[in-house]
Amino acid sequence: MKFSIKIASLFLTAAAFTSCLKDDITLDPDKSTNVVEFKNPSSFVSPSGSTYSLYSQSFDLADQADYPITVSYSGADVAPADITVTLGVDTAAVTHYNTEQHEEFDAITPNLYTLPATVVIPKGQRTAQVLIKLKTAQFDFSKNYVLPVQIKSVSSGVVSGNFGTILLAVKAKNIYDATYAATGYVYHPTSPRAVAKDKSLVTVSPTTVSVELGDLGGSGYFANLTVDPKTNKITITPAAGAAGAPYTQFDTALPAPYKSAWANADKANNTYDPATKTFYVRYGYMGANGWRVAEEILVRK
């Protein structure tokens, strides 16, 4: 009998504890207290555990590029009345992120963007759009710009502790920035091989993009391709921080084994065809086992 009473007592205690958990912990977002916050404008690029969430977006070079983001009244309810959200920037958040994540982002200067001072979430609604305008044509390509957008205050409700400030990494991309289908060949002293893969050409300046050398991107080998808009000729130079020994643009003085019929073909002398959005490149570079030459055709996808 005593054993049965103890079991019953334990069961009642567990039931009471479970009841308390249900009262205190809400796992259903539709039953939570509403907060005013920014919705994710894109995927996170910040690591897990970061104090601030960082998002990255690229824009075409333009006098004015639009970047729409959303302010949300998140939770179970819709806005009970018009909610005026006052916006601003928090440059200290960029400093904090750089220190915490060992990065070197630059807080974007006010002359390069326009941010509305306020936005209103209408009564009965959950969201409102904020339209940020970026002057990407004036961006300094040596900078890693971040716009630290902050909800400074709300006319009613509570500002989210997690998404009341977000960091927007904003980049300008030139007309050559895209994914390309690369086909070609690497003349290698010990393992000559074909190249057939997709490659990302990434903006470095208004007329320059970086691209991996041959199929060595995984090893950190990258080159810069600079297009002369008047002649469409391409100049090839080492990318900043590229791995491996220095390399040079293809030179006819390279040893005979590295020369091919392709070298005499049309458009083989490092040119860009704007009509087909195609790069024709041939370059030499020095590796551990001597000279290599890569020749490729990169067609925009």
Residue 280: C-alpha distances to residues 35, 93, 236, 284 (Å) = 54, 44, 12, 14
Per-residue pLDDT at 293: 76
31: left (phi over 0), alpha (psi -120 to 50) or beta: alpha
The verdict on 119 and 61 lying in the same domain is: yes
SS3 215: coil
SS3 60: strand
Selected residue with higher pLDDT from 223 and 203: 203
- Candidates 298, 297, 296, 287; CA nearest to 188 is 287
> Backbone phi, then psi, for 276, in 5-degree steps?
-105, 0
The verdict on 247 and 206 lying in the same domain is: yes
Task: For residue 276, give its domain range.
Answer: 178-300
Task: Give a yes or no: residue 7 inside a domain.
Answer: no
How do residues 55-113 score in pLDDT, each as one tens digit?
999 999 999 999 999 999 999 999 999 999 999 999 999 999 999 999 999 999 999 99
Boundary (domain end) residue, out of 173, 205, 224: 173
Residue 210: C-alpha distances to residues 18, 20, 88 (Å) = 58, 59, 35
If one counts every other C-beta atom within 10 angstroms of the C-beta of residue 211, the result is 23
The verdict on 133 and 76 lying in the same domain is: yes
Model-level pTM? 0.71
The CATH number of whichever domain residue 71 belongs to comes to 2.60.40.1740
How do residues 204-253 score in pLDDT, each as one tens digit?
889 999 988 777 776 777 888 999 999 999 988 877 666 544 444 444 44
The verdict on 269 and 136 lying in the same domain is: no
The verdict on 102 and 144 lying in the same domain is: yes
Boundary (domain end) residue, out of 139, 173, 207: 173
Task: Give a yes or no: residue 225 inside a domain.
Answer: yes
The verdict on 168 and 35 lying in the same domain is: yes
The verdict on 48 and 137 lying in the same domain is: yes
Per-residue pLDDT at 214: 75
What is the count of structural domains for the chain?
A: 2
- Candidates 279, 270, 275; CA nearest to 298 is 279
Boundary (domain end) residue, out of 130, 149, 173: 173
288-291 contact pairs (CB < 8 A, 24+)? 288/245, 289/188, 289/189, 289/190, 290/189, 291/189, 291/254, 291/255, 291/258
pLDDT at 43 over 50: yes
Residue 193, strand partner residues: 186
- Candidates 151, 112, 162; CA nearest to 128 is 151
The verdict on 151 and 190 lying in the same domain is: no
